[in-house]
Amino acid sequence: MIKAGSMTLIDAIPYNCVKIEGKVAYLKRVGDETRGRFKKMDAKLVPYVNEKDELIVPKPPPVNRKRMSRFHFMKVIKEATDLPLSHDLAYYVAEHLESLVYTLAAKAEDNAIMHGDDRITAAHWYHLQLSPQQGNGKWEENREFAKDYKEHLISEAMKPEEVEDV
């Protein structure tokens, strides 16, 4: 692992490790005496020079697919905004995301079939993006959609689980 005060190479650019706090290494570009942000990296993943003067490039751990499947959309919304958030927003966004994912998944399946592919890949998925003019306004009916989705979730949670006879 890299140590404070040592040098490293990242993408053929030399950096000095200024400090390590917790698990984060703070790197400064060599020769860059201007003030500015540090390059922050997980200290375990920063390339370092060992005792034999060999550059060791640590391999990142494999991505945990279970962790990837969790998307905390309210956390993202809170980070992107300064205003407080209402409870109905969480229900509305959840319903909206679910609806979008169903629609995009169906389109991705159609795209895969149309191109003769036997699996859906990222290349089949349509990338939604808002233009600068889209999304401006206020839609009061969304509050009703949120209430309906909340009731739907409650009714789904109250349903008895179906048990298969074996």
pLDDT digits (tens, 9 = 90+) for 4-19: 888 888 888 888 888 9
**Smallest Cα–Cα separation from 143: which of 87, 60, 64, 61?**
87
Neighbouring C-beta atoms of residue 110, cutoff 10 Å = 12
pLDDT at 43 over 60: yes
pLDDT tens digits, one per residue of 110-144? 999 999 999 999 999 999 888 888 889 999 999 99
Dist. CA 48–CA 10, nearest whole Å = 10
Domains of the chain: which residue ranges? 7-56, 65-158
Looking at per-residue confidence, does 70 or 82 come out higher?
82
Structure tokens at 52: 């034999």
> Quick one: angle between helices 87-114 and 141-158, nearest 10?
80
pLDDT at 165: 60
**How many CB atoms within 10 Å of residue 27?**
22
Report the distance separating Cα 35 and Cα 75, nearest Å: 31
| pLDDT at 163 (0 to 100) | 60
Q: What's the CA gap between 39 and 36, in Å, rounded?
A: 10
